[in-house]
Structure 1
Amino acid sequence: MSRPSDYVDASTPNGSGREPVSQPVLGPVGWIRWAWRQLTSMRTALLLLLLLAIVAIPGSLFPQRSSDPNGVTQYFRDNPDTAPFLDNLQLFDVYSSAWFSSIYILLFVSLIGCIIPRTRHHWQALRQRPPRTPVRLERLADFRERTGVAVDAGEAVQSARKLLTTSGYRTEIYTQTARGGQESVSVSAERGYLRETGNLVFHSAMVGVLLAVGVGGGLGYNGQKVVVEGQTLVNTLLDFNSFNPGRFFNTDTLAPYAVSLDSFEAVYETNNLDAYGQPIDYTANVTTTLPDGESAERTVKVNEPLDIAGTNIYLLGNGYAPTITVRDADDRVVFTDSVPFLPQDTNLTSLGVIKVPDGLDTQLGMTGFFYPTAMRLESGAYASSYPDLVYPVLTLNVFQGDLGINEGAPKSVYTLDADGMEQIAGGDSDTAAIELMPGQRSELPNGLGSITFENAAEPDAEVVDVTGDSAQPETGDDAAEDAGADTSGAPATEAPATDAPATGTPAPGEDATADATQAPANPHGGDGTAASGASSTAEGYSGAVKRFASFDVHHDPGQLWVLVFAVLVVAGLITSLLVPRRRVWVKVSSDGEGTVRIQYAGLARGEDPALGAAVAELDRKHARELGLPSDDGAVG
């Protein structure tokens, strides 16, 4: 059987085969219009939003130069082969990379392209009259009717209009004449435009969030500073350990103020043995000073930043900063400072570096561990069994030689490059590592001078000379491994990490004493182990070692606007989900017997499961207004 001659696939009469399909040719303007429509479609906007979330993942997997420049340096040191390749992919600058910015800008344009035409259409819809009443309301699913009603038609229509207006509907009265010449009067009502308004507010607020984040990032800054008790943070560029300004931030506009760290308080769990030593609270007590000389005592806690001069100061981390004094052979002070030691575990076993570049016959470098509550393991290495000062011990390995700081290249204060230096104490040297407790002093090898571990709580107390009295512990890499410490240190500008809560840390004196041997002699009494349930401020050592706090100073001028737009996003979303879009009609017509017929009907624009109940409720209220029985003559 052959196909009809006019079938689309049929051969042409001359047998030349199928006729080619003629398609319109898109010129340059047509292709631009097509690309714009694709970009501004809601499907594309959702795809770009999902893609933006996916490409942001590397920002949490790799250290970023904008927030952790020292982490990037450390990553290059630890991964010299893969780091350059990842850097070429801009994985250390994810949020300022070309590919992330492209997606961000495309999403921004797509949202604007969606919003503008929809806003124009919505504005036109708001100004239009409600649509005319359908001729046959009975065809609608939600329909009710009353017949034989003895009321005036005009009164019934006005009463229905009043009810609908008070219910939030926009109303319009129409007069219609049916084919048979029968005249009817109806009220056309609609509401729910707030749903589309909420939708537009949601999308506009999303654009606002993107703008606020971009502007805030460009005009804001982040600065990190490690502050020891008794020291001051001044909000100037030179005082920060690291400073990350936005692209458009002017450092000359830094708000002038100073924040002094008066004291740092740490509270640890001592009652629950299963959680012994876990941190409960950290409090940095500070004094703020403004340019006019006004001072105030404030506090900074975890997740409770200090708000001052348009900046927020967050508490990031904390640890111990032993006060060290080095004297030459003639007992002249050549170095004295409170040196931050970086925590290596939950019990604050801490690693630090001391550098003495001047004042002695040779430059000195010392690497050491500080143990707030020292105990000796079976291997001979020390470890800390509790994060507070119960039995503090400082061990130091000493190197002499060139520190490499005279070459002009920046060096980290938390690491010591011992290549080319001679170890004169600890390790494989002939001299034992130096062990000190607060208020003790020891001679340096080769008659170079002496080193004192100052007691910060009793600076005027008599110093005890312990040269040669301490048994040499296992130090260096073996000690670090036994203590769970990281000997790599951290770059100079890196803020020490917050010590995380310990889980299942044994109470000092319980598991600790099971595999611990006698610690060095305690000049204040005690045997080197802390009793179970010991106070977090053991008598004799409370405040003996200063603590440091790591602060992050954050300024974001778009922060408030982000909050405002975020609230609008939520409000717009809730409105667009909860407000129904519907149309309702009430038609009054004569039935030819001196009475009227009243019809009620509704139509939903989308899902509206409550529409039927709304039409029924309108029927009942209208009947009460007209003085009719609520169910008299009502049919579905």
Structure 2
Amino acid sequence: MTVVEDRPATADAPPPRRGNPLWAFLRNSWRQLTSMRTALVLLFLLAVAAVPGSIFPQRGVNRENVAEYFAEHPELAPALDRFFAFDVYASPWFAAIYLLLFTSLIGCVLPRLRDHFRALTTVPPDAPKRLDRLPHHDQGQQRPEEPAAVAAEIAKRLRRSRFRTRVRETPDGWTVSAEKGYLKETGNLLFHIAMLGVLVGVGFGQWYGWHGNRLLVEGTDQGFCNSVTQHDESVLGPRVDPSDLPDFCLRMTAFDATFQTNGVPKSFQATVDVSEDGGDHYRPDRFTVNDPLRLDGATVNLIGQGYAPVLRFTDRFGAQQTKVVPFLPIDGMLTSEGVVQYPDVNIDPATGKRDPRLQMGFEGLFLPTGGTDGSAVSKFPAENNPVLYLTAYRGDLGLDSGRPGSVYALNREQIADGDLKKISDERPYVLRPGEKWTLDDGTTLEFVDTRRFATISIRHDPTKVSLLVGSVAGLIGLMLSLYVHRRRVWFRVLPVGGDPAGGSVIEAGGLPRTDYPGFGDEFATLTRHMKEGTP
């Protein structure tokens, strides 16, 4: 019997090697981050993180709505603001998820891209010894040609069917290996690369893009030039300076709208005069909802329309002021609400001083088609029977307080404090074009006319072409990954009775690499044609 003695480790024996725990932690963390499961979880988290952006008003879209939310929820809004609820897409936690998803996708794509390239440059593997163990198998058919000729013909026919083939000579005969469906993995990689491209495009678009909104009233005296100060709302990317905005001016000369009999809009078209590069020369142009005005460095889109009454106020000293005031639609029939304010009226010509207690404000509704029942609701969006319902206020409008306010509503705090008082408690006064309203102190308000206005969106997105290409490429990649299936087939051609001159016997096997219910029919068709020699 052999006795094995336990001997202690000598001094010459190397100590057991231990890995660096920090390196092991980083390696495992990278593997977890770049796994497909993590990428899917991060994509889901990104979708969930975007939900608050659609629930709460965003400063980048409408600061006035954010201010209204703070006024309505004075205790909740500051707490939400600490978690960037009103700046979701600029928040650190949204950016962290975005960057982690970007890194995860890169870590997923690069190794798969390398493996896919290797697979494309690798020849199909040789036929297994036992083809009868494959999911699809066929054997026993004979052909009179020699095995070499039969194998060459089979390979030629498979290549015509877009199979990658390889013919090998074995000690007992010939084998033909063929595979197809590598476009499935190509589609997967194309989809992920396109998603990366879209993420990069969105990021650069946020950095270098900008957009602004403007309510443009019809008339050559109501022009607009593209600058931040003349935008009603504007958002500039972090890498965009106000001086980077393209220099152009617009004047809307006409606005045409048609409606169906039920009031549904049929078409909108704005006719404008355009001046670019700071010149005095204006050229005519037009644009519609689905056909924006494309300028150098900006695109002008038509996103809304409405009416702007023209009102003339004559104060107690006979001075007149005429204002064109847009009224904002509140329903599909363009029932519109608005405010006209006259802070600089009733100025004593002898002293030149203005009494703030004599400022005038009017609020009410405009109906493009008023009904005969007296209801303050428009019956049709076209201007068939325009009517104004107005209520007059006199006092301090609160415009000199330094606090921002809406130009489409009177200051409710001034009304609540009694600094701005309603002139009469009667029902709103009704005015039609050409009519005049005489107030209790002899001042008058005349409804002169109406004009159309258009709400336009001026945008510049330097990555919109790359986003379009990425979206199309992603769709193509998704279709390839869904409808292309990987599969392999093998043919073994042996001489009958060991004599090549005696003919050939063919054995075939097939293996689908993915779930492919139609592979059985494809394999049967292939083997039948290969054995019969038919096209």
Q: TM-score, normalised by structure 1?
A: 0.73
Q: 1:391 to 1:129 in 2, by over 3 A?
A: closer
Q: 1:621 aligns with which of 502, 510, 529?
A: 529
Distance 1:269 1:598, change over 3 A: closer
Aligned equivalents of 1:608, 1:389: Cα separation in 2: 63
Q: List per-residue Cα deviations over 1:260-312 (Å, max 9, x = no partner).
A: 22222333343xxxx4x4444333333333336361321323x4433332433
1:602 alignment partner in structure 2: 510
1:403 Cα deviation after fit:
2.7
Which of 387, 398, 416 in structure 1 is aligned with 2:392? 398
**In 1, Cα distance between the equivalents of 2:316 and 2:142?**
120
Superposed, which structure 2 residues align to 1:186-585 within 5 Å?
A: 186-230=175-219, 231-270=222-261, 275=262, 277-291=263-277, 293=281, 295-301=283-289, 303-333=290-320, 335-361=321-347, 362-363=355-356, 364-369=359-364, 370-375=366-371, 382-417=376-411, 418=414, 419-423=417-421, 425-427=423-425, 434-447=429-442, 449-455=443-449, 545-585=450-490
State the one-letter code of the partner of 2:497: G
3-state DSSP of counterpart to 1:615: helix
| SS in structure 2 at match of 1:113 | helix
Corresponding letter in the other structure for 1:187? V
Q: 2:317 touches 2:346 (CA, 8 Å); kept in 1?
A: no
Q: Which of 84-93 and 280-289 deviates more?
A: 280-289
Aligned to 1:84: 78
Q: Does 1:35 align with 2:29?
A: yes
Partners of 2:491 and 2:40 in 1: CA distance: 41
Distance 2:241 2:192 in 1: 32
Report Cα offsets for 1:68-89 as digits up to 9, x if no partner: 2221122222222322222222
Contact map agreement 1:399 1:421 (CA 8 A) in 2: no
Structure 2 match to 1:55: 49
* Post-superposition CA distance 1:536-560 (Å, at most 9, x none): xxxxxxxxx1122111112111111
Q: Is the 8 Å Cα contact of residues 506 and 531 (structure 2) preserved in structure 1?
A: no
* Letter in structure 2 aligned against 1:284: A
Q: What is the distance in 1 between the residues matched to 2:233 and 2:141?
A: 83
- Describe the SS at the equivalent of 1:592: helix
Unpaired segments ≥5 residues, structure 1: 1-23, 178-182, 456-544, 631-636
SS in 1 for 2:258: strand
Q: Give the CA deviation at 1:148.
A: 5.1
Normalising to structure 2: TM-score of the pair?
0.86
Q: 1-side partners of 2:210 and 2:184: how far apart?
A: 39
Matched residue SS, 1:160: helix
Paired with 1:557 and 1:298, the residues of 2 have a C-alpha distance of: 23
Report the 3-state secondary structure (helix = DSSP H, G, I; strand = E; otherwise coil) of the residue aligned with 2:441: helix
Aligned-pair CA distance for 1:383: 4.1
Would you say the 8 A contact 2:146–2:495 is kept in 1? Answer: no
Cα separation, 1, equivalents of 2:324 and 2:201: 41
CA–CA distance in structure 2, aligned partners of residues 268 and 591 of structure 1: 83
Shift of residue 323, structure 1, vs aligned partner: 0.9
Counterpart amino acid of 2:509? A
Question: In 2, distance between residues paired with 1:332 and 1:88?
Answer: 51
User: What is the aligned partner in structure 2 of residue 480 from structure 1?
Assistant: none
Give the letter for the 1:251 counterpart.
P
CA gap 1:606/1:56 in 2 versus in 1, 3 angstroms: same
Post-superposition offset of 1:147? 5.1
- Tell me the distance in 2 between the aligned counterparts of 1:201 and 1:588: 38
Q: CA deviation at 1:420?
A: 4.4
Contact (CA 8 Å) 2:304, 2:454: kept in 1 or not?
yes
1:314 is paired with a residue of what secondary structure? strand
Mark the CA change 1:621 to 1:227 in structure 2 (over 3 Å): closer, same or farther.
same
What SS class does the counterpart of residue 360 from structure 1 fall into?
coil
Cα separation, 2, equivalents of 1:94 and 1:53: 12
Structure 2 letter corresponding to 1:546: R
2:497 counterpart SS class: coil
Structure 2 letter corresponding to 1:371: L
Q: Is contact 1:426-1:434 (8 Å) kept?
A: no
- AA paired with 1:411? G
In the TM superposition, 1:136-151 aligns within 5 A as 136-146=130-140, 149-151=143-145
| Percentage of pairs with the same residue | 38
Q: Matched residue of 2:338: which SS?
A: strand
Alpha-carbon distance in structure 2 between the residues aligned to 1:446 and 1:548: 33
* Pairs within 5 Å for 1:12-23: none
C-alpha distance in structure 2 between counterparts of 1:294 and 1:49, whole Å: 48
Partners of 1:44 and 1:392 lie apart in 2 by 60
What corresponds to 1:165 in structure 2?
159
Contact 1:376 1:383 in 2 (8 A): no
Residue 434 (structure 1) shift? 4.9
List per-residue Cα deviations over 1:12-52 (Å, max 9, x = no partner): xxxxxxxxxxxx98711111111111111111111111121
The structure-2 alpha-carbon separation of the partners of 1:397 and 1:186, relative to structure 1 and needing over 3 Å to count, comes to same
1:592 to partner: Cα distance: 2.6
Question: Which one-letter code corresponds to 2:400 in the other structure?
Answer: N
Judged with a 3 Å threshold, the aligned counterparts in structure 2 of structure 1 residues 285 and 622 are, in CA distance, closer, same or farther, namely same
Partner of 2:352: none
Alignment of 1:172-191 (within 5 A): 172-177=166-171, 183-191=172-180
> Deviation of residue 414 (structure 1)?
1.6
Contact 2:269 2:286 in 1 (8 A): no
Change (3 A) 1:287 1:223: same
Superimposed CA distance per residue, residues 426-474 of structure 1 (whole angstroms, 9 cap, x where no aligned partner) = 237xxx8654321123334434x4322213xxxxxxxxxxxxxxxxxxx
**What SS class does the counterpart of residue 404 from structure 1 fall into?**
coil
3-state SS of 1:557 partner? coil
Per-residue deviation, residues 177-218 of structure 1 (Å, max 9, x unmatched)? 3xxxxx222122222222111110011111111111111122
**1:425 touches 1:434 (CA, 8 Å); kept in 2?**
no
Distance 2:52 2:378 in 1: 36
Residue aligning to 1:497: none
How many residues are matched? Answer: 497
Q: Which runs of 5+ in 2 are unaligned?
A: 1-17, 348-354
Tell me which residue corresponds to 1:470.
Answer: none
Q: Which amino acid aligns with 1:572?
A: G
- Does the CA-based 8 Å contact 1:267-1:282 persist in structure 2? yes
Which protein is richer in helix relative to its size? Answer: 2
In structure 2, what residue type is equivalent to 1:175?
Answer: E
Call closer, same or farther: CA 1:133–1:416 in 2, change over 3 Å.
Answer: same
Query: What is the DSSP-based 3-state SS (H/G/I as helix, E as strand, rest coil) of the residue aligned with 2:197?
Result: helix
- Name the amino acid aligned to 2:467: V
| Equivalent in the alignment of 1:131 | 125
* C-alpha separation in 2, matches of 1:385 and 1:152: 89
Distance (Å, rounded) in 2 between the aligned partners of 1:570 and 1:563: 11
1:225 deviates by 0.6
| Deviation string, structure 1 residues 485-517 (Cα, Å, up to 9, x no partner) | xxxxxxxxxxxxxxxxxxxxxxxxxxxxxxxxx
Cα deviations by residue, 1:324-380 (Å, 9 ceiling, x for unpaired): 1223334333x2220111223333332222222224233423132223334586xx8
SS class of match (1:185):
strand
Secondary structure at the residue paired with 1:618? Answer: helix
Alignment partners' CA distance in 1, 2:408 and 2:251 = 23
